[in-house]
Amino acid sequence: MVRFAEVGLRYGGAGPEVLHDLSFALEGGSFHWLLGPSGAGKSSLLRLMQLAARPSRGEVEILGVALSRARRGALPALRRRIGVVYQDFRLLPYLPVFDNVALPLRVAGRAEPQVQADVTEMLRWVGLAAKAGAHPAALSGGEQQRVAIARAVVMRPALLVADEPTGNLDVPQARRVLSLLHEMHRLGTTVVVATHAEALVAEYAAPALRLAEGRLVTHG
């Protein structure tokens, strides 16, 4: 599902290597925490998993596709199978909630009746059906993050990665966000969540990838 073999990453070609010799495999349908101190390389590792960066060395295989052998033209279709959630939500402020969630479906050219049905179902799932017409600025942080999760999963991704998804939320909102990510896992999605929130990690026992200074120090 996700396989890294001796992966190194440096930004901008000549910069220092920020990830070193990462080798691990995540089974399809698994849930993993991604832990480590600030600067350890968590966001960089997630960038590789979501195809926003390419490794400087080694092999990254995502959903059965080895990136070193993948044609450039194959990457957009692969990206559509990966959902991403960010700490700062990254909703489009000028679009109502409904259209934010609909965006990936419309970009993919889905028929409008399907868009209406899928978005309505997703907003119901995250508990925000009543806010479909609101703009993001009118929502709390936790609500905005639930919209972002709806947008990330509306294409039914096989892999869902979240980078500090609870970093801007209070504990009750954070719990609600994490329970949605867990539910995606229960439904069969492979989920990786980077976080500093060790107290919440303790509430959800799951295997962890732990990084320190760009190296994997624990897996499992």
Is residue 195 a contact point for ligand ATP (CB under 6 A)?
A: no
For residue 132, give Cα distances in angstroms to 85, 91, 106, 129, 208: 19, 13, 16, 6, 35
- Contact code string over 34-53 relative to ligand ATP, x by CB under 6 A: --x-xxxxxxx---------
Options 24-32, 33-41, 104-112, 138-146: segment touching ligand ATP (CB under 6 A): 33-41
The SS3 assignment for 116 reads helix
Report how far residue 128's alpha carbon sits from residue 130's, in angstroms, rounded to the nearest whole number.
5
Is residue 15 a contact point for ligand ATP (CB under 6 A)?
A: yes
Is residue 165 a contact point for ligand ATP (CB under 6 A)?
A: no
Least distance between ligand ATP and beta carbon 149 (Å): 19
Closer of 36 and 157 to ligand ATP (Cβ): 36
Report how far residue 101's alpha carbon sits from residue 91's, in angstroms, rounded to the nearest whole number.
9
Closer of 40 and 132 to ligand ATP (Cβ): 40
Is residue 11 a contact point for ligand ATP (CB under 6 A)?
A: yes
For residue 141, give Cα distances in angstroms to 49, 82, 91, 173, 178: 25, 23, 11, 8, 14
Bridge partners, 218 (sequence order): 210
Provide the binding-site residues for ligand ATP, judged by CB under 6 A: 11, 15, 18, 36, 38-44
